[in-house]
Amino acid sequence: MGILLWIAMGLLAGILAKWIMPGADPGGLIVTTLIGIAGAIVGGMIGTAFGFGSVTGFDVRSLVIATGGAVLLLYAYRVVSPRMWATSRGA
């Protein structure tokens, strides 16, 4: 998959992940795209490990896998973020 398709897939996956998990998350369009691209990588690794397939092209299955990975990353961010703020403030 070319770099432009990775960016487009990342943008769509990031938007869907933020739609599925609304809340106070970082960033605008660029951060949403980066979360989606990272989600596609994470989702592809997990999907391959469990036999669901990987992100190989621009299709519905790949979009679902990428969105699942992005949702997982947003969840991990929300779990880790409050702890990082509490330790940096000395609380």
Q: What is the pLDDT of residues 43-83, one digit of tens each?
A: 888 888 888 776 677 788 888 888 888 889 888 887 887 66
pLDDT at position 29, please?
Answer: 77
- In 3D, which of 62, 75, 66 has the Cα closest to residue 34? 66
**pLDDT-based confidence at 84, cuts 50/70/90?**
low
**Structural domains in the chain (count):** 1
The token pair at 66 is 């990428």
Domain range spanning residue 41? Answer: 3-21+29-88
Helix (H, G, I), strand (E, B) or coil at 77: helix
Write the pLDDT tens digit of every residue in 22-51.
877 666 777 778 888 888 888 888 888 888
pTM of the shown model: 0.77
